[in-house]
Structure 1
Amino acid sequence: MTAPLETVPQLIARARQALQAGGNPQMAVDAINEALKQAPRDIGLILYLGDAHHAAGQKSDAGHAYGIGLKLAAQINPVSIPDGIRQALQRAEARRAEYSAAYESFLRARLPGSEKETRFDQALEILLGRRQIYVQQPTKFYFPGLPQIQFYDTALFDWASELEAKADQIREELISVMTETGTFSPYLSEEDTARPHVRSHTLQGSLDWAAYYIWKDGARVEDNARRCPVTAAAFENVPLDFLTGQAPSVLFSRLKPGAHIPPHHGLVNTRLIGHLPLLVPGPAWLRVGNQVHHWQEGQLVIFDDSIEHEAKNEADETRVVLLFDFWKPEITLKEREQIAALTAAISDYSGDAIARAD
Structure 2
Amino acid sequence: MPAPWFLIAQAAQALGRDDEADDALVRFLATEPRHLGALLTMAALKRRRGDDRAAESFYRTALSAASQPGATIAPALVPLLRAGETFLTEVAGRFSAHLDAALKDMPRAAGPRIRHALDLLLGRSELYLQQPSMFYFPGLAQRAYFEREEFDWVAPIEAATGAIRAELDAVLAAGQGFAPYVQTMAGRPPPANPLLDDPGWGAFHLWRGGVPVEPNATMCPNTMAALSLAPIPVIPGRSPMAIFSRLTPGTHIRPHHGMLNTRLICHLPLIAPDGCALRVGSETRPWHDGRMLIFDDSFEHEAWNRG
TM-score, reference length from structure 2: 0.90
In structure 2, the residue corresponding to 1:257 is in which secondary structure? coil
Could you list the per-position Cα deviations for residues 106-126 of structure 1 after superposition, in whole angstroms to 9, with x for gaps in the alignment?
111110366975111000100
In structure 2, the residue corresponding to 1:277 is in which secondary structure? coil
Q: Which residue of 2 aligns with 1:158?
A: 152
Residue 186 of structure 1, CA deviation: 1.0
Could you list the per-position Cα deviations for residues 161-207 of structure 1 after superposition, in whole angstroms to 9, with x for gaps in the alignment?
1111111221111111112334211111112999x9x7211011111
121, 133, 147: which one aligns with 2:115: 121
Separation in structure 1 between the aligned mates of residue 181 and residue 84 of structure 2, nearest angstrom: 48
Residue 82 of structure 1, CA deviation: 4.6
Residue 100 of structure 1, CA deviation: 0.5
Identical columns (%)? 36
Extract unaligned runs of 5+ from structure 2: none
Query: Given the alignment of the two structures, is residue 239 of structure 1 paired with residue 210 of structure 2, yes or no?
Result: no
Asked if 2 retains the 8 angstrom alpha-carbon contact of 1:286 and 1:311, the reply is yes
Residue 217 of structure 1, CA deviation: 2.2
Separation in structure 1 between the aligned mates of residue 297 and residue 247 of structure 2, nearest angstrom: 17
Q: Which residue of 2 aligns with 1:185?
A: 179
Residue 234 of structure 1, CA deviation: 0.3
Asked if 1 retains the 8 angstrom alpha-carbon contact of 2:217 and 2:224, the reply is yes
Query: Given the alignment of the two structures, is residue 263 of structure 1 paired with residue 260 of structure 2, yes or no?
Result: no
Query: Given the alignment of the two structures, is residue 201 of structure 1 paired with residue 198 of structure 2, yes or no?
Result: no
Letter in 2 for 1:84: A
2, 5, 14: which one aligns with 2:2: 5
Asked if 2 retains the 8 angstrom alpha-carbon contact of 1:15 and 1:32, the reply is no
Task: From the superposition, tell whether residues 15 and 178 of structure 1 become closer, same or farther in structure 2 (CA, over 3 Å).
Answer: farther
Letter in 2 for 1:149: R
22, 25, 28: which one aligns with 1:29: 22
TM-score, reference length from structure 1: 0.78
Give 1:207-226 correspondences, 5 Å limit. 207-226=199-218
Larger displacement relative to structure 2 (119-128 or 258-267): 258-267
| Paired residues, number | 305
Give 1:20-169 correspondences, 5 Å limit. 20=16, 23-24=17-18, 26-75=19-68, 82-112=74-104, 118-169=112-163
Give 1:299-314 correspondences, 5 Å limit. 299-314=291-306
Q: Which residue of 2 aligns with 1:252?
A: 244
Separation in structure 1 between the aligned mates of residue 29 and residue 138 of structure 2, nearest angstrom: 45
In structure 2, the residue corresponding to 1:278 is in which secondary structure? coil
Asked if 2 retains the 8 angstrom alpha-carbon contact of 1:14 and 1:31, the reply is no
Letter in 1 for 2:45: A
Asked if 2 retains the 8 angstrom alpha-carbon contact of 1:11 and 1:35, the reply is no
Separation in structure 1 between the aligned mates of residue 215 and residue 46 of structure 2, nearest angstrom: 72
283, 287, 293: which one aligns with 2:285: 293
**What's the Cα RMSD here?**
2.6
Task: From the superposition, tell whether residues 169 and 27 of structure 1 become closer, same or farther in structure 2 (CA, over 3 Å).
Answer: farther
Task: From the superposition, tell whether residues 226 and 82 of structure 1 become closer, same or farther in structure 2 (CA, over 3 Å).
Answer: same
Separation in structure 2 between the aligned mates of residue 139 and residue 209 of structure 1, nearest angstrom: 21
